[in-house]
Amino acid sequence: MSRYVIKRLLLLIPIMLAVSFIVYFIIDFAPGDVVDIIAGNEMSEEHKQIMREEMGLNDPLPFRYLRYMAGLLRGDLGISYVTNKDVFDVYMMRLPATLQLATACTVVALLIAIPLGINAAVHQNSWIDSCSTVLGLLGISIPIFWLGLMMILVFSLNLGWFPSIGNDSPLSIVLPAVTVGVGQAALIMRTTRSSMLEVIRQDYLRTARAKGASEKAVIRKHAFKNALIPILTVIGTQYGAALGGAVVTETVFAWPGVGRLMVDSINNRDTQMVTGAIILTTMLSSVVILLIDLAYAFVDPRIKARYMKRGDNLGRK
């Protein structure tokens, strides 16, 4: 299995190259540059050109990209054009807030989705199933930014229960976590229902019932465990998306995380910060997906045997 993990980690190299290439070139095509943001309208064009020359922005784009990649291969993500701070240090300062939010969102989603999905499958075609389906469709359809604004309006401005912005108290995470968690719960709930329906009438469940096992034990120990593979896939995907895709939520709630950092850096044309933050987030998301992939082995012994077989094949090669 260790050989398989190493192989998957090595695949991060071409992913990082592709991501950095796309991000670097797209940002460069945007109108204006970081000098226009820093200098504003007060500095003369001559002085702006001097700044561009000192920052290396007048060099051809391919040359600037190769220079950036040379630093990246040495583990150097560069210095922010705007704050003049190391990109890696700034990212690591913002990462804990994003990890906190992503974890809270996933916990909220699981608390909602797993019970609803299991009950919808167990009571298929009943009113419970119909209500769960409607709630799932609503969760997928409601825009995150609209739900976030409504949460602020109702629970912060009108009721005063929770803070509306920032991360100054433990209650600050409630509104953004619920906002993102509702959307995640809808997809996880639908996946849980579909996966449970595939296994809930299998022969081994009838055997467990015939041996006298209670219905709760049959559902919890046998059906749900064997339905976990697609559910784990969706959970891992949603968690990885929350790490890098909570841009809207962090902006609405002024959450001091990586998503807001990237938005601010894009507005400031800070190529170094944007590229470095996206590369690091891509690596983090890939590692999360790898961990979920390895978690399959603990759920299904057949997958563990397949991993071991892959490792043996790689060793022979």
Tokens coding 15: 């992913």
Q: Is residue 77 part of a domain?
A: no
Q: Is residue 298 part of a domain?
A: no
Q: Is residue 126 part of a domain?
A: yes
Q: Is residue 253 part of a domain?
A: yes
How far is it, in rounded angstroms, from Cα 257 to Cα 246? 9
**pLDDT tens sequence across 253-266:** 877 888 888 888 87
CA separation (Å) from 141 to 91, 100, 136, 145, 222?
A: 32, 25, 9, 12, 33
Structural domain for 112, as ranges:
87-267
Cβ atoms of 292 and 8 within 8 Å: the answer is: no
pLDDT the model gives residue 314: 45
Cβ atoms of 253 and 265 within 8 Å: the answer is: no
Evaluate if pTM is beyond 0.75. Answer: no
Q: Is residue 289 part of a domain?
A: no
CATH number of the domain that residue 134 is part of: 1.10.3720.10
In this structure, the number of other CB atoms found within 10 A of the CB of residue 262 comes to: 24
**pLDDT tens sequence across 148-185:** 888 888 888 888 788 777 777 778 888 888 888 888 88
Count of domains forming the chain: 1
State the DSSP code for 270: -
**pLDDT tens sequence across 196-251:** 877 777 666 667 667 666 667 677 666 777 777 788 888 888 887 777 666 777 77
Q: Is residue 117 part of a domain?
A: yes
How far is it, in rounded angstroms, from Cα 102 to Cα 181? 9
Cβ atoms of 116 and 131 within 8 Å: the answer is: no
- HSE value, Cβ hemisphere, 13 Å, CA-based, for 109: 34
Q: Is residue 114 part of a domain?
A: yes
